[in-house]
Amino acid sequence: MLPRFAVLLPPRSPIEGLEGPLDVQTLPEGTVQLARADALRRHKLELRAWGAVPLDAPRLLLRSDAVVSAAALAGLLAAGGPGDRALQIGGATGALLRQLAFDDALPTAAVLSDGQGDPLDRLQAARAVELDPKERLHHFALAPGQFDQDSLTLPISDLLALPVRHWIQLLWANLLRLPAGLLRQISSANPLIFLPQLLGAAWRSQSLRPLAVGGAMRRVGRGSRIHPSAVVEASWLGRGVTVGAGAVVRGCVLHDGSAVEEHGLVEGCVLAPRARVQRKAMIKFSLIGAGAMAAGYMQLGVLDNGAAFKLTSALMDQAFGGPVELNIGGQRRPAPMGLAGVCVGARTVVGAGVLVAPGRTIPPDLQIMPTPALVLRRLPSAATGRALVEDGGLRLLDPQPAARPA
């Protein structure tokens, strides 16, 4: 018997590094709460409190501190067998998700046969049902000599079930949802919409090769403006999005009111509403929160709502000589695949010229500036030759002797 009701377990802790509950955090299709509501609506499940469901009625139990895709819920609901059953994903996708869970072995979702006992105990004791992810493995080449391996292999699947108690987990939830989410958003089932998109992609790519045409596909919301010299490929743009001259946007979701300014480069990113990538910035595989502004160099990082970092600053994502480490629950843990960027807390500003080492979590409401000793504040009235910035002034390396009066 399929359940008609869904129940949420309360979160056990806030998200490390981020402000606000998981429900308001950004995903490619909107917020976590909207994505969950859409998944439940697809399966005709009504969200209720634990005690508001008849005691003898089966129910879907979900962790409210986890992201679970609609496809994963469909697989769990379709799995048969007696008693309680918990969601588990197999293959390379499941192995990656277990690595990203950081020893959090509590299932993210389960179907319970009734409402007896404690829901947390029932979730822990439920029989695991392993789903086939029907994945595709994608290989990424790595820079030679910088890593222990020459390539990185990532699985692409519609199935996702990941606890989110740290900013790195929210980032990976977005990255893993991007391929399937973009495919659904860009490829409309309506031929009256899809055929013009296909023809437009063929014209932009100047090719009939499937890979070239697929890369040039995009979906643009009402009121959005793309400069004729900009490149927008395999991306979904919401309403009122602006892409400036010479900008490059590849494999991204840009939510309503976001912007990529002139000559900005954005790849594999999710921009929340009103987020802005400023001119000449380079942002890759990152999550930019609502109203945040990115102007430097960033990869595999997160900007929380209202955060900013300036041009010539850099949020690094790799460490030479070993994997990047993260502080998770007070313990140092290796980052997934040895790579992780930086999380900038809400409303924090990282000033120009500041370099932040990988794996760091910057608290909210800070203003970080470079050392004053290297900021030129005092200038001599007259000087020639070479000079160094020192303690806010100039030290002449080869001072010229003063000219003698005639």
**DSSP annotation string for 13-82:** SPPBT-SS-GGGSEETTEEHHHHHHHHHHHTT-EE--GGGS-TTS-EEEEETTEEE-HHHHHHHHH---S
Q: How many distinct structural domains can be found in the chain? A: 3
pLDDT per residue as tens digits for the range 145-203: 666 667 778 899 999 999 999 999 999 999 999 987 787 666 554 555 555 554 554 45
Quick check: helix, strand or coil at residue 382? coil
Token couple for 163: 């606890």
**Same domain membership, residue 107 and residue 84:** yes
Closest CA to 304 of 365, 359, 345, 354: 345
Give the residue-averaged pLDDT of 2-11. Answer: 94
> Is 200 inside a domain boundary?
no
192, containing H or E segment: helix 191-205
**Same domain membership, residue 151 and residue 134:** yes
> Is 393 inside a domain boundary?
yes
**Same domain membership, residue 227 and residue 304:** yes
> Is 177 inside a domain boundary?
no
Point out the domain boundary residue: 135, 165, 195: 165
pTM attached to this predicted model: 0.88
**Same domain membership, residue 387 and residue 364:** no
**Same domain membership, residue 149 and residue 27:** yes
pLDDT per residue as tens digits for the range 353-388: 999 999 999 999 999 988 887 788 888 887 778 888
What is the extent of the structural domain holding 113? 5-165
- The Cα–Cα gap between 351 and 307 comes to 11
> Is 182 inside a domain boundary?
no
- Is residue 395 within 8 Å of residue 380, measured between CB atoms? no
**Same domain membership, residue 32 and residue 155:** yes
Per-residue pLDDT at 211? 46
> Is 172 inside a domain boundary?
no
Per-residue pLDDT at 23? 96
pLDDT per residue as tens digits for the range 26-77: 999 899 999 999 999 999 999 999 999 999 999 999 999 999 999 999 999 9
**Same domain membership, residue 361 and residue 387:** no
> Is 210 inside a domain boundary?
no
Per-residue pLDDT at 378? 84
> Is 179 inside a domain boundary?
no
Per-residue pLDDT at 212? 46
**Same domain membership, residue 158 and residue 257:** no
The CATH number for 81's domain is 3.90.550
**Same domain membership, residue 266 and residue 313:** yes
Task: Find all residues with CB under 8 Å of 234, minimum gap 6, and list them.
Answer: 182, 186, 214, 215, 216, 217, 218, 250, 251
> Is 111 inside a domain boundary?
yes
**Same domain membership, residue 398 and residue 333:** no
**Same domain membership, residue 140 and residue 14:** yes
